[in-house]
A and B are shown apart, each in its own frame.
Chain A
Amino acid sequence: MKTSLRVWLLPVALSVMIVAAGCLGGSKGGRSRGTSTPGGPTPTAQSGARPQPALTPAPGAAKLATSGGTFTRLWADPPTLDPHLTSDTTSAGLVVEIFSGLVALDTDLRIIPDIAERWDVSGGGAIFTFRLRDGVKFQDGKAVKASDLKYSFERALDPRTESPVADTYLNDIVGAQDKLKGLVREVRGVRVIDERTLEITIDAPKPYFIAKLTYPTAYVVDRQNVESGPGWSNKPNATGPFKLLEWVPGQRLILARNEHFYRGVAKLDRVHYILSGGVPMTMYENNEVDFTGVGQAELDRVLNPTEALNKELVRGDPAFDVSYIGFHVDKPPFDDRKVRQAFTLAIDKETIAREVLSSLAVPAYGVLPPGFPGHNPSIRGLRFDPVQAKKLLAESKYGGPGKLPRIIMTVPGTGGTVGLDTEVILEMWKQNLGVTVEIQQTEWATFLQDLNRQRFQMFGGLGWSADYPDPQDFVDILFHSKSFNNHGAYKNLEVDRQIELARTEQDSDRRIKLYQDAEQAVVEDAAWIPLWYTGERFVLIKPYIKGYKLTRLIVPKLKDISIERP
């Protein structure tokens, strides 16, 4: 799913843990983004964004000796282990270790051959011919053939599978739309040439198509396994580096090394995911887990060089996402562009990032996150300017703070608190504009229903992270006037026109330019207040765990971890 629920929305359970850990000398804190959040319900989790990766295939890993041992960490119960239904990080983090597909991303986010050993591109960039690796087997020893991949693509696109993401990842394949609508049995664009050769034809030359195939929607499944019944994915027969050994919901999920894995078997014997929760920092310090995210509350302690834990601190690049406050542009007072601009200009994001968020977040002035294709470092954003803010509010059709209607900002969550950063924003509006904004908090399901119906005057607590490395995924989906995900009813005909041109523009520079122009217009119209891009991530990893890499996206990475105890 696309929207990331911010940590401050996590319900009471997590708040309790925070309070609890607070008593333990400031242990578990609030904002451990990008890591899983065991203990709190995760109604939606962000799916991994996909960057524009280098298209040169990196060599596969050589076969390595096994080190054995068990890597233990906290996790949450995954909603599904069916790769074709996977749309959240909790599921994807496990699915990429159990299943695999034609291509994968390595820990440096390059595209590498996986089940395919190589592929040729022909037809002007629209035909991909994959040559399968010799000796690829499912866990039960059965060989993987090109027909298994064809079956898997067709199963993912079958409307009865109800994949929430097949449309996103596989829609470029010729015939995919007909299959999704249930009009045809076969997908024309996927052809078996021989047992080890598969040909995929897409509707237009799209260089980013191959990157989409790294997502679990394109993974191979075993037909017999799938047809064994509705609970099949709880006993998967798959091709990834690990196999599911045991899953007791709410207690533990254990992966064991898949001895048949074709790219060099994993070093670890087992990976133990604790699903039952606990106080992460306490568990880490008590040697019950080998890995934990570090939240804001314990960050100062862990960053202190005299603290023993400081030596186990690992820093990682942020995930690709942006959080924002949305306006409904037809509801007063936000039907006046000047009011929206004034609200944006009145927030001092730099100060909040530094003082409140301990620099775990980077102020956002545009929509596309840093490092993402199309990110525009020179975007002319609406930066903090309280004088101009007040002036714009006075120039608006409302004439000043006194004549504005009642303003309610709705945020999802149940904790009763909205997070210090939101509170500071409310205070800044009060001080810099003289406007009091009320907060209304509703729990996630209710929030989502009202969001989908565009009922909010103003809404916060939301973030957006991409599913694939293309600005279309942000700009088109969020701001085209006909997009269902344009929750604030933003409408700018010029932006619509640029977005529509970009959809079919073949020149990638011109295409990026179109998106950047649209993004600039969106920013100037103040359709949103972009708030933060995720900042650096901090985790603790036990020193005897070797080879764990923090990645900006969910990629298979447990295979290369080893345990070296002194």
Chain B
Amino acid sequence: MTAYVVRRLLWLPVLLVIVIFITFALGTYGPGDPVEVRLGTKSNPEAVARLRQQMGLDRPFVVQFADYVGGVVRGDFGDSYRYQGRTVLELILPRMWVSAQLNLVALTLVVVIGIPLGMAAARFQGRWLDPAIVTGIVFISSLPVLITGPLFLLVFVVILKLVPSAGWGGLFDTRIIIPAVAIAVPGLAVIVRVMRTSTLEVLSQDYVRTAYAKGLTPGIISRRHVARNAFLPVLTMLGFSIAGLIGGTIIGETIFGIPGIGRLAFESIFNRDYPVIMGITIIGAATFVLANLMIDVAYTFLDPRIRY
């Protein structure tokens, strides 16, 4: 087990260097030039050349790449091109933290609502409640944030005046409610369907029949035998969601005025703010790898049959 985890972790730097290389090459050879963007249409060739030299962008690709990787190893992700005098980490970490909190609340909603609904649908298979739950959830989840966001704003802010329309006050502020719900909604359908399918499969297993035969109550069977086993496929999905926690949602953040990472990433691409793009990519890639490792380890606790 430990050897497995160590082996997986040893791969991480290799993966990151590949990720950095690809992102770096795209930035260097792709269209658009950070120097020209910074100077705008007001530039002239001398000013462009001077600033390019100042920013170190006139050096060969290999030198720039090595320099950057060296910096990252020392924990230095460089300075933003657009926000002068600000380091990349100073810009992205607070926003990732905001996105993480918001996404965590949304994910919790998805799990807390989605799993019981999925199990309920499976339990009522063949009766009207099953298709009702599935159809209802699919309908609701088909509404993108683009629709639900303004709808919620209209109902809860403009008409009912329950909460302010925009802004961020942290995890325990009322302003988190509407965006969290709007972000959670599209994720519900998937989890309900996966949970329903895997519950149905577990319900048909011999050990469940045995449990009934032993005279256990449905509640105990549900919790001890069904839920735990049916949860495994859902866990795989959650792995991706956890990795996505620090990812932003451009639309949600824009509509609700949330200072998350999504908008910064989006703007940085248009501003050719490569250090910021690189920083977000690297941290995102690392989180993805680590979250999946965590999930793989979690399997062994839920299912003793899985060993590494």
For B262, the closest partner residue in chain A by CB is: A13
The CA of A500 and the CA of B256, in the complex, are separated in Å by 53
Task: Tell whether A306 is near chain B: CB-to-CB under 8 Å.
Answer: no
Distance in Å: Cβ of A93 to nearest Cβ of chain B: 16
The CA of A324 and the CA of B235, in the complex, are separated in Å by 56
Contact, CB under 8 Å: A231 / B85 = yes
Task: Tell whether B225 is near chain A: CB-to-CB under 8 Å.
Answer: no
Q: Enumerate chain A residues within 8 angstroms of B166, measured Cβ to Cβ.
A: 274, 276-279, 282-283, 288
Q: Enumerate chain A residues within 8 angstroms of B157, measured Cβ to Cβ.
A: 282, 286
Contact, CB under 8 Å: B37 / A2 = no
Task: Tell whether B130 is near chain A: CB-to-CB under 8 Å.
Answer: no
Contact code string A268-279 (vs B, CB < 8 Å = 1, else 0):
000000111111
Task: Tell whether A20 is near chain B: CB-to-CB under 8 Å.
Answer: yes
Task: Tell whether B50 is near chain A: CB-to-CB under 8 Å.
Answer: yes
Contact, CB under 8 Å: B42 / A250 = no
Contact, CB under 8 Å: B45 / A484 = yes
Contact, CB under 8 Å: A282 / B36 = no
Q: Enumerate chain A residues within 8 angstroms of B86, measured Cβ to Cβ.
A: 231, 234, 249
7 A-B contacts, Cβ less than 8 Å apart?
A16-B255, A43-B37, A164-B47, A230-B79, A230-B84, A250-B263, A274-B257
Contact, CB under 8 Å: B153 / A24 = yes
The CA of A349 and the CA of B161, in the complex, are separated in Å by 43
Segment touching B, from A104-112, A363-371, A379-387, A443-451: A443-451
Contact, CB under 8 Å: A230 / B85 = yes
The CA of A39 and the CA of B267, in the complex, are separated in Å by 10
Task: Tell whether B165 is near chain A: CB-to-CB under 8 Å.
Answer: yes
Task: Tell whether A23 is near chain B: CB-to-CB under 8 Å.
Answer: yes
Contact, CB under 8 Å: B154 / A24 = yes
Q: Enumerate chain B residues within 8 angstroms of A545, measured Cβ to Cβ.
A: none
Distance in Å: Cβ of A251 to nearest Cβ of chain B: 4
Q: Enumerate chain A residues within 8 angstroms of B36, measured Cβ to Cβ.
A: 445, 448-449, 452
Distance in Å: Cβ of B46 to nearest Cβ of chain A: 9
Task: Tell whether A544 is near chain B: CB-to-CB under 8 Å.
Answer: no
Q: Enumerate chain A residues within 8 angstroms of B83, measured Cβ to Cβ.
A: 77, 79-80, 249
A234-B86, A274-B167, A276-B259 known; A448+B32 contact, CB < 8 A? yes
Contact code string A152-168 (vs B, CB < 8 Å = 1, else 0):
00000001001011001
Q: Enumerate chain A residues within 8 angstroms of B264, measured Cβ to Cβ.
A: 250
Contact code string A417-454 (vs B, CB < 8 Å = 1, else 0):
00000000000000000000000001111101101100
Q: Enumerate chain B residues within 8 angstroms of A165, measured Cβ to Cβ.
A: 42
Task: Tell whether A55 is near chain B: CB-to-CB under 8 Å.
Answer: no
Distance in Å: Cβ of A83 to nearest Cβ of chain B: 12
Task: Tell whether B297 is near chain A: CB-to-CB under 8 Å.
Answer: no
Give the size range of B's interface with the partner.
35 or more
A16-B254, A162-B50, A277-B254 known; A286+B259 contact, CB < 8 A? no
Contact, CB under 8 Å: B167 / A278 = yes
A16-B254, A276-B167, A277-B257 known; A162+B54 contact, CB < 8 A? yes
A41-B267, A448-B37 known; A21+B259 contact, CB < 8 A? no
Which of A16, A233, A234, A251 contacts B259, CB < 8 Å?
Answer: A251
Contact, CB under 8 Å: B40 / A248 = no
Task: Tell whether B296 is near chain A: CB-to-CB under 8 Å.
Answer: no
Q: Enumerate chain B residues within 8 angstroms of A159, measured Cβ to Cβ.
A: 50
Q: Enumerate chain A residues within 8 angstroms of B82, measured Cβ to Cβ.
A: 79
Contact, CB under 8 Å: A13 / B85 = no
Q: Enumerate chain A residues within 8 angstroms of B158, measured Cβ to Cβ.
A: 24, 282, 285-286
Contact code string B186-203 (vs A, CB < 8 Å = 1, else 0):
000000000000000000
Distance in Å: Cβ of B144 to nearest Cβ of chain A: 10
Contact code string B132-166 (vs A, CB < 8 Å = 1, else 0):
00000000000000110111011001100100111
Contact code string A31-57 (vs B, CB < 8 Å = 1, else 0):
000000001010110000000000000
Q: Enumerate chain A residues within 8 angstroms of B37, measured Cβ to Cβ.
A: 43-44, 444-445, 448
Task: Tell whether A471 is near chain B: CB-to-CB under 8 Å.
Answer: no
The CA of A111 and the CA of B153, in the complex, are separated in Å by 45
Contact, CB under 8 Å: B254 / A1 = no
Near A by CB (< 8 A), chain B positions 24-79 give: 31-34, 36-45, 47, 50-51, 54, 79
Chain A interfacial positions (CB closer than 8 Å to B): 1-3, 11-14, 16-17, 19-21, 23-25, 39, 41, 43-44, 77, 79-80, 82, 85, 87, 159, 162, 164-165, 168, 230-234, 248-251, 274-279, 282-283, 285-286, 288, 414, 442-446, 448-449, 451-452, 462, 484-485, 487
The CA of A278 and the CA of B251, in the complex, are separated in Å by 10
The CA of A264 and the CA of B216, in the complex, are separated in Å by 82
Q: Enumerate chain B residues within 8 angstroms of A446, measured Cβ to Cβ.
A: 31-32
Q: Enumerate chain A residues within 8 angstroms of B263, measured Cβ to Cβ.
A: 13, 39, 250, 277
Q: Enumerate chain B residues within 8 angstroms of A21, measured Cβ to Cβ.
A: 150
Given A279-B166, A448-B41, 16 additional A-B pairs, CB 8 A: A12-B250, A12-B266, A43-B270, A79-B83, A87-B42, A234-B85, A250-B94, A250-B264, A274-B257, A277-B253, A278-B257, A282-B153, A286-B157, A445-B34, A445-B272, A484-B45
Q: Enumerate chain A residues within 8 angstroms of B253, measured Cβ to Cβ.
A: 276-277
Inter-chain contact total with CB atoms closer than 8 Å: 194
Distance in Å: Cβ of B194 to nearest Cβ of chain A: 29
Task: Tell whether B242 is near chain A: CB-to-CB under 8 Å.
Answer: no
Task: Tell whether B21 is near chain A: CB-to-CB under 8 Å.
Answer: no
For B271, the closest partner residue in chain A by CB is: A43
Which of B40, B95, B164, B256 contacts A448, CB < 8 Å?
Answer: B40
Task: Tell whether B176 is near chain A: CB-to-CB under 8 Å.
Answer: no
Near A by CB (< 8 A), chain B positions 268-285 give: 270-272
Contact, CB under 8 Å: A445 / B254 = no
Distance in Å: Cβ of A483 to nearest Cβ of chain B: 9
For A27, the closest partner residue in chain B by CB is: B150
A41-B270, A448-B36 known; A279+B42 contact, CB < 8 A? no
Task: Tell whether B299 is near chain A: CB-to-CB under 8 Å.
Answer: no
The CA of A275 and the CA of B257, in the complex, are separated in Å by 8
For A443, the closest partner residue in chain B by CB is: B270
Contact, CB under 8 Å: B154 / A2 = no
Contact, CB under 8 Å: A13 / B41 = no
Contact, CB under 8 Å: A485 / B266 = no
For A80, the closest partner residue in chain B by CB is: B84
Which of B91, B161, B165, B259 contacts A275, CB < 8 Å?
Answer: B259
Task: Tell whether B102 is near chain A: CB-to-CB under 8 Å.
Answer: no
The CA of A232 and the CA of B84, in the complex, are separated in Å by 10
Contact, CB under 8 Å: A2 / B149 = no
Q: Enumerate chain B residues within 8 angstroms of A448, measured Cβ to Cβ.
A: 32-33, 36-37, 40-41
Q: Enumerate chain A residues within 8 angstroms of B181, measured Cβ to Cβ.
A: none
Q: Enumerate chain B residues within 8 angstroms of A44, measured Cβ to Cβ.
A: 37, 40-41
Distance in Å: Cβ of B37 to nearest Cβ of chain A: 5
Contact, CB under 8 Å: A232 / B85 = yes
The CA of A414 and the CA of B266, in the complex, are separated in Å by 12
Contact, CB under 8 Å: B257 / A444 = no
Contact, CB under 8 Å: B254 / A250 = no
The CA of A369 and the CA of B258, in the complex, are separated in Å by 38
A43-B271, A250-B264, A445-B272 known; A2+B85 contact, CB < 8 A? no
